[in-house]
Structure 1
Amino acid sequence: MNKINPFIKWVGGKRQLLSEINVRKPEHFNNYFEPFVGGGAVFLALQNKNKTYINDISTELTDAYKTIKDDHLNLMKLLDKHQEAHKNNPKEYFYEMRSWDRDENWNQISQLEKTARLIYLNKTCFNGLYRVNKSGFFNTPWNGKLEINLYDRENIINLHNFLNKKVVINNGDFAEICKHAKKGDFIFFDPPYDLINATTFDSYTKNPFGVEGQKRLAELAHQLSERGCYVMLTNHNTPLINELYKDFKIDVVNVKRMINSKSDQRFGVETIIYNY
């Protein structure tokens, strides 16, 4: 099994929590589901031999996975062009690329070009924070870096090969992909976290998850549990989360949050919740 790292940095990435997740995963399971895939650290670490279903609400993100699956060579060529153009005038080129989604012809831009732009912006925006405003426009500022490395060729090739084995890529609501889950399957949920305070980051899209999203997810998790599925999820250690999953096992763990813009707030506690 070739090691594969996430090709993109994403809010709530689980690389810092992989060891804690790994020791709690089911010993044996059939298909694997990740309805909030993000950067994909968990499914890439597992590389399940059976079928894997990944999903995200972000169309740009799921299209990026599809592009790497279907057109990775042309993607790398385009990323090379972005990297070269960045050298000449980094700040100007960044803001030119960031403005694309404000253009009236945005919907006519190809999936390949949008994926290359997404990766470029992710590597050149402040703290790698994918964020859009209420209008749906990418609005994270430039990170000030003059030299960049947009991708690892071997990693992209390994990801391309794995995605072409038994991986289903879906874009939509988290509940939709879980309709395929059966007894013995493993579902890992990494949703937008419950808010600790008013400044807690709730959603990288223009539609916040909110309390109702947490309640709907908890209801689905219990339905899957009754179906005989292995269910695991991560979240903040809040009264709401502890109440919603009081009949599941709840482990509180320390975690380092790499994407927080304030270095003194990059450490905290989270919960790993599971039904087995």
Structure 2
Amino acid sequence: MININGYGSVKPLLKWAGGKRQIINELYKRIPEKFNYYYEPFAGGASFLIHLYNNNLIKYGAISDLNGELINFYNVIKYNLNEFLEEEKKDNLPNNIEYYNLRDEYNDIIGDNNYKIRRAVLFLYFNKHAYNGLWRVNSNNKFNVPFGKYKNVNMFDYNNIYNFSIMLKNINIFNSDFETVVKEAKENDFVYFDPPYQPLNKTSYFTGYTKNGFDYDEQKRLFKVFKGLADKNVNVMLSNSYNEKMLELYNEFNINIVNVNRFINSDASKRTGLKEIIVTNY
């Protein structure tokens, strides 16, 4: 039976690079005592939003991401759930040949709002069946991740999709730059920034989440936004990689260091032993 009560019933729908499931408790320990409106300008898999919602802490909020396909997926789940569920019944094709046919189809309609329902279904399909659940586009904004060869994939948890849609009812969804999204943030609101992380070295530089990437100039622009919000007495939290540049950039604020494993890596031996920082202004 579908649980229509909402609170306490939502799990992430997506596996997402940079997801916060591992440090959710570390983040949760550091949230402000009270807050009004919640902002998450780098939504990704929305695991922190979900955690706050499940603890009955989200009344109204806004999420955003520059990944237009991700935001289309969330909008369809929020506004077009029945059409989404009807469309998904057409495909249950995890084999290699069908994967690449579907990938070609998807790349023909990517970004086209005439096919928003189909795009959303295929987006979830690739999240479950692509190698490591990775989202990556090339310079032409075409999805190019190979088949993952997974067995026993649970594509659609209908109860969870339904409850996820309920959660989004009071959440505004944007496909906008982080600076634009938080412009209206006020005193006692709460903003959580989870940007693409500053790379630890040149070989770890991965910018494929969107075609434009996120370089150190963007990190500095984000810091200015963080500081501007702090000056307005907005509660601000940020997570990023543990490295000299980030420590120096945010040295006037509270910096906590946490241990983390990163699961989206082609080499399982490299999924351990890393650190991240959690920065707050309160």
TM-score bracket for this pair, using the shorter chain length? over 0.9
**Secondary structure of 1:232's aligned partner:** strand
Counting matched residue pairs gives 271
Q: Aligned ranges for residues 158-237 of structure 1 at < 5 Å?
A: 158-164=163-169, 166-200=170-204, 201-237=206-242
Cα distance in 1 between the residues matched to 2:264 and 2:85: 25
Give the AA of the match of 1:93.
E
Deviation at 1:169, TM superposition (A): 0.4
Distance 1:110-1:261 versus aligned 2 partners, 3 A rule: same
Structure 2 unmatched runs, 5+: 1-6
Q: CA deviation at 1:27?
A: 1.2
CA contact (8 A) 1:3 1:45 kept: no
Q: 3-state DSSP class of the match of 2:91?
A: helix
Between 11-20 and 94-103, the greater mean CA deviation after superposition: 94-103
Q: Given that residues 182 and 229 in structure 1 are in contact (C-alpha distance below 8 angstroms), is that contact kept between their aligned partners in structure 2?
A: yes
The structure with the largest helix share of the pair is 1
Match of 2:58 among 49, 54, 57: 49
What is the identity, as a one-letter code, of the residue corresponding to 1:10?
Answer: W
Q: Distance in 1 between matches of 2:244 and 2:72?
A: 36
State whether structure 2 residue 90 is matched by structure 1 residue 81.
Answer: yes
Deviation at 1:205, TM superposition (A): 1.0
Query: 2:161 matched to 1:152?
Result: no
Q: CA deviation at 1:162?
A: 1.4
Is the alpha carbon distance of 1:156 and 1:104 closer, same or farther for their aligned partners in structure 2, counting shifts above 3 Å?
closer
Opposite residue 13 of structure 1, the aligned amino acid is G
Match of 2:72 in 1: 63
Q: In the TM superposition, what whole-angstrom CA distance separates every residue of 1:225-247 from its partner, at most 9, and x where no partner exists?
A: 00101110100111111111010
SS at match of 1:150: coil
* 1:190-233 alpha-carbon deviations (Å, 9 max, x no partner): 00000111222234111110010000000000000001011101
Matched residues in 1 for 2:176 and 2:126: separation?
23
Show the 5 A alignment for 1:229-248.
229-248=234-253
Give the Å deviation of 1:106.
Answer: 6.7
Alpha-carbon distance, 1:2 to partner? 2.5
2: CA distance between counterparts of 1:270 and 1:203? 21
Give the drift of 1:105.
8.8
For 1:115, the equivalent position in structure 2 comes to: 120
Determine helix, strand or coil for the equivalent of 1:183.
coil
Q: Give the aligned residue type for 1:16.
A: Q
Distance (whole Å) between structure 2 residues aligned to residue 62 and residue 82 of structure 1: 22
Q: Distance in 1 between matches of 2:246 and 2:111?
A: 39
Tell me, in whole angstroms, the C-alpha distance in 2 between the residues paired with 1:105 and 1:59. Answer: 9
In structure 1, list runs of 5 or more residues that go unmatched.
none
Q: Which residue of 2 aligns with 1:29?
A: 35
Please give the alpha-carbon distance, in whole angstroms, between the structure 1 residues aligned to 2:113 and 2:183. Answer: 32
Does the C-alpha gap of structure 1 residues 167 and 102 become closer, same or farther in structure 2, counting only changes over 3 Å? Answer: closer
Q: Which of 270, 275, 279 is the equivalent residue of 1:269?
A: 275
Q: Give the Cα–Cα distance (whole angstroms) in 2 for the partners of residues 240 and 190 of structure 1.
A: 16
SS of 2:14's equivalent in the other structure is: coil
- Paired with 1:182 and 1:212, the residues of 2 have a C-alpha distance of 26
Residue identity in the other structure for 1:69: K
Q: Which moved more, 1:208-217 or 1:49-58?
A: 49-58
Identity %: 36
Cα distance in 1, alignment partners of residues 113 and 36 from structure 2: 40
**How far apart are residue 259 of structure 1 and its match?**
1.4
Aligned counterparts of 2:151 and 2:260: Cα–Cα separation in 1:
31
Give TM-score scaled by structure 1 length. 0.94
Q: 1:101 to 1:77 in 2, by over 3 A?
A: closer
Deviations 1:43-71 (A, max 9, x none): 11101333111000011111111100011
Task: Tell me the TM-score normalised to structure 2 length.
Answer: 0.92
